[in-house]
Structure 1
Amino acid sequence: MTILPGCTATSVNRISFGTDVLISHRAFLQGAGEIRFGSKIMVGPGAMFITTSHDIHTRLSSSSPISVEDGVWVGAGATILPGVTLGAGCVVAAGALVNRDVPAGSVVGGVPARALSSASCNVKNILYFESPAWCGQF
């Protein structure tokens, strides 16, 4: 697991990571409702994982877990809201607001996020950090 400078996390005891996970600069992880990261995951700069929300009428807060399955990419500035599961191998475009589950192998983007296409990637063969583009990033 690699967490780059500027990342902020709360309730860190409720955040779990698989292997080969990169959390980029200025990401925010709100662990109150629990965040479970699988393996071979990349999270772009400024992405946010928000596990707590408020009822619009009572203003009471509630938390729900976020699950990020193996091989997921989350683009820069994307926001993942409470209770969402990001299916294996899916891609979340930069700036997307994800308020519902994303099926495995799909590409979503927009506000709110909607399906854009599918991603055909063999998650087991991903070698993110062997790319020359990553040299000198750490």
Structure 2
Amino acid sequence: MSIEVDPTAEISPLADIEPSRRGTRVVVGPDSVIDSFVKIKPAGGMGDVLIGARTVINAGCVIYSGNGVSIGNDVAVAANCVFASVNHEYHDKSRLIREQGFLPSRGGIVVEDDVWLGAGVILLDGAVVRKGAVVAAGSLVRGEVPSYGVAAGDPLTVKTWRQ
């Protein structure tokens, strides 16, 4: 795995970027901040983790590389968010779940530019958060949040729009 960190980015010495055995990449763009106790872990796929410019990922967030995670420019990720871009296979009850591998990709996770994810947001494989959107604290994102939408809950619904 290669870890490519722009020289202007700040990564806390208490962050943990785990090396990949599969050759996936972690790229952190210019002026981005990875706070204390952020964990980036390669798991269950060949996806890269790409973090754009001027993005802040706050304490306690976990990013599983899985089928890929792309976080754009100028994104604010509040504390304790989870990016889970892979799903375990579980259908065969005659086999242990851990022996069944993973389900096919739903496209990884994409977070476009100028997005705010509130504290404790969970994004699953196939989640797409479009430009300028806001996702309220504690929400679960499984599908698409439209550009400039302000979404909340589980099930996630658009409550209002940025003006």
TM-score by length of 1: 0.81
Equivalent pairs: percent with the same residue?
A: 28
Shift of 1:33: 1.1
Gaps spanning 5+ residues in structure 2: where? 1-31
Name the counterpart of 2:117.
Answer: 74
Shift of 1:11: 2.0
**RMSD, aligned CA:** 1.7
Q: Which amino acid aligns with 1:85?
A: V
Q: Given the superposition, is the C-alpha separation of residues 116 and 56 from structure 1 closer, same or farther in structure 2, using an over 3 Å criterion?
A: farther
Runs of 4+ more than 3 Å apart: none
Residue aligned with 1:108, SS: strand
1:2 maps to which of 33, 50, 72? 33
Give the Cα separation in 2 of the matches to 1:112 and 1:57. 24
Pair member with larger Rg? 2
Pick the structure with more helix per residue.
1
Name the counterpart of 2:23.
Answer: none
Considering Cα pairs closer than 8 Å and 6+ residues apart, tell me whether 1 or 2 has the greater RCO. Answer: 1
Name the counterpart of 1:53.
Answer: 87
Name the counterpart of 2:3.
Answer: none
TM-score by length of 2: 0.69
Give the Cα separation in 2 of the matches to 1:90 and 1:10. 26
Shift of 1:55: 4.0
- Equivalent pairs counted in the alignment come to 120
Shift of 1:56: 4.6
* 1:59-86 deviation line (CA, Å, top 9, x unaligned): 5413441011000000000101101110
Name the counterpart of 1:127.
Answer: none
Q: Which amino acid aligns with 1:6?
A: F
* 1:25-84 deviation line (CA, Å, top 9, x unaligned): 000101111101110000010011110113452454134410110000000001011011
